[in-house]
Amino acid sequence: MNILQVSAEYHPLLKTGGLADVTGALPAALNANGCDVRVLLPGFPAILAGLQEPTELLRFHTHGGAELRLLRGTLLGTTTVQAYVLDAPGLLDRPGNPYEDAHKQPYADNHRRFAALAWGAVQIAQGGDTSWKPQLVHGHDWHAGLVPACLLHAGGGQPLLPSVFTVHNLAYQGLFDVARFPDLGLPWSFYQVEGLEFWGQISFLKAGLHYANRITTVSPTYAREIQTPELGCGLDGLLRRRQSDLSGILNGVDGTIWNPTTDPLLPHRFGSNKLLGKARCKAALQIETGLHTHADAPLFTVVSRLTEQKGLPLVLEAVDGLVERGAQLLVLGNGDAHLEAAFLAKAQQHAGRVAVRIGFDEAFSHRVFGGSDVTLVPSRFEPCGLTQLYALAYGSVPLVRRVGGLADSVTDTQPDTLASDTATGIVFNHMDVGEFTHALQRAMALYRHPSQWDRVQRAGMRQHFSWDEAAQQYAALYRSLIPA
Ligand code: ADP
């Protein structure tokens, strides 16, 4: 099956969150399951820099008049993947974050930039590469939301190809003023409630949800949650209507990148039967971040975008109590200015016990998971969450809220789950500082009980969230849509 994957991010070239980990890992996992996956990416500077041996396939124009070149080449990652990249310097050649300017404001022409991506997919669907033709297009998140609509329009009312649309986060919707509609290259008939209109605006996400043949999201629980008014972001009605086309496929862990027995980014390597290396990683991390080098102080860590979604005000509220009880906190993250400032203030207040690094640092994140005792993920909502999966692999016990993919991947420590060796973390239910503090106390108590701690830690490290399994589910979905 020839599959064209369309996304804005791709690990290891460009990553702002979990989306890149998924789109970077899926092609190889799918190729091992009988697919021939190629990727289409916007020519952001980091993507163009990583494209090997580019050749120009064709040129076309957007509705705004910009000229785009469709390049073909290969991307080097853990495996080599064939790639198409849209080269449009005026639209895409901007330094830093792919979506926002230096003041964290979305680019005013984002609708044009990502409409161009969809029309690039149409060019390939129409035979733009004479040596390879996709049989299905799989788009990810709102950046690729227009793809199914453009395939439908280009096919004159019958989609050129079947499509799958995966939602990694329903809260990011790609909303634009209706005045921008003529720039998209679609007729006005698409601007309706049964289309991409959303409360008087254009929604790229809704376009994907409405026009794709199948919708997936990145965990079974999130697939159910987004059909409720509470977590449906105003799209729950549409998602309920499309219930039979919607499914959840849990993300995996790329073991070639996230494996503590082989990880070259760790100062010491370790496995579930050889945890000495983990103790050394913790000591090295404490030294690196200016935390007191107390081996027996439980080290709680956060690796996260600092946004409302991630429930971090709970951590801010609880940190004083945590420190009073002898624990340490290390935060690696960036995002909302007020959260960055609040965490930095806590680091100042509790020097040696709280450390904060603001920024996005992939290599450092490996060292954090390697040295961490407990990974905190108290999210308000969490489509899948990858940090708790990496934490499990690295012997850091995840403390998570029972929501979305967190609920699907962490088993709470209770007498029965401890006895059956299935406990892998600490789980709490409500966004409530009392409940969160209680969960922290349970984690501290577990830590002070080495034999139990050991069981939970090792049970977590034995978990295997494989991309292979996820790829089999995606492949089955593709098969059901591609005519024999
Ligand atoms: P989301 O996609 O909502 O940001 P996920 O948990 O699904 O959350 O994925 C986040 C990914 O980004 C993980 O790979 C995590 O390790 C990484 N990450 C988040 N913040 C940082 C950071 N500040 N530095 C390095 N990696 C980070």
Q: pLDDT averaged over consecutive 10-residue blocks of the chain (484 residues)?
A: 98 95 96 97 97 97 89 86 96 92 92 97 98 98 98 98 98 98 97 97 98 98 98 98 98 96 98 95 98 97 97 98 98 97 98 98 98 98 98 98 98 98 98 98 98 97 95 98 90
**Residues linked to residue 167 through DSSP beta bridges, in sequence order:** 217
Residue with CA nearest ligand 1 atom 19: 304
**In this predicted structure, what is the pLDDT of residue 64?**
78
Atom of ligand 1 minimally distant from the CA of 310: 3
Total domains in the fold of the chain: 2
Q: What is residue 15's three-state secondary structure?
A: coil
Ligand 1 close to Cβ of residue 77 (< 6 A): no
Judge if 473 and 433 occupy the same domain: no
Ligand 1 close to Cβ of residue 304 (< 6 A): yes
260: in domain: no
Judge if 447 and 475 occupy the same domain: no
262: in domain: no
Give the whole-angstrom CA distance, residue 372 versus residue 360.
18
209: in domain: yes
Atom of ligand 1 minimally distant from the CA of 382: 3
**In this predicted structure, what is the pLDDT of residue 122?**
98
Contacts by 309-312 with C-beta closer than 8 Å and gap 24+?
309/169, 309/171, 309/379, 309/380, 309/381, 309/382, 310/377, 310/378, 310/379, 310/380, 311/377, 311/378, 311/379, 311/380, 311/401, 311/431, 312/339, 312/343, 312/378
Residue owning tokens 């990652």: 77
Judge if 231 and 82 occupy the same domain: yes
**In this predicted structure, what is the pLDDT of residue 95?**
85
**In this predicted structure, what is the pLDDT of residue 66?**
85
Judge if 168 and 286 occupy the same domain: no
- CATH number, domain containing residue 137: 3.40.50.2000
Residue with CA nearest ligand 1 atom 2: 18
Judge if 424 and 474 occupy the same domain: no
Residue to substitute in 16, 386, 400, 409 for testing ligand 1 pocket (most ligand atoms within 8 angstroms of CB): 386
Judge if 218 and 286 occupy the same domain: no
261: in domain: no
- C-alpha of residue 427 to centroid of ligand 1, in Å: 20
Judge if 94 and 238 occupy the same domain: yes
- AA identity, residue 185: G
- C-alpha of residue 324 to centroid of ligand 1, in Å: 28
Instruction: Look up the domain containing 381 and give its range.
Output: 276-461
- C-alpha of residue 17 to centroid of ligand 1, in Å: 4
241: in domain: yes
Judge if 306 and 232 occupy the same domain: no
Ligand 1 close to Cβ of residue 328 (< 6 A): no
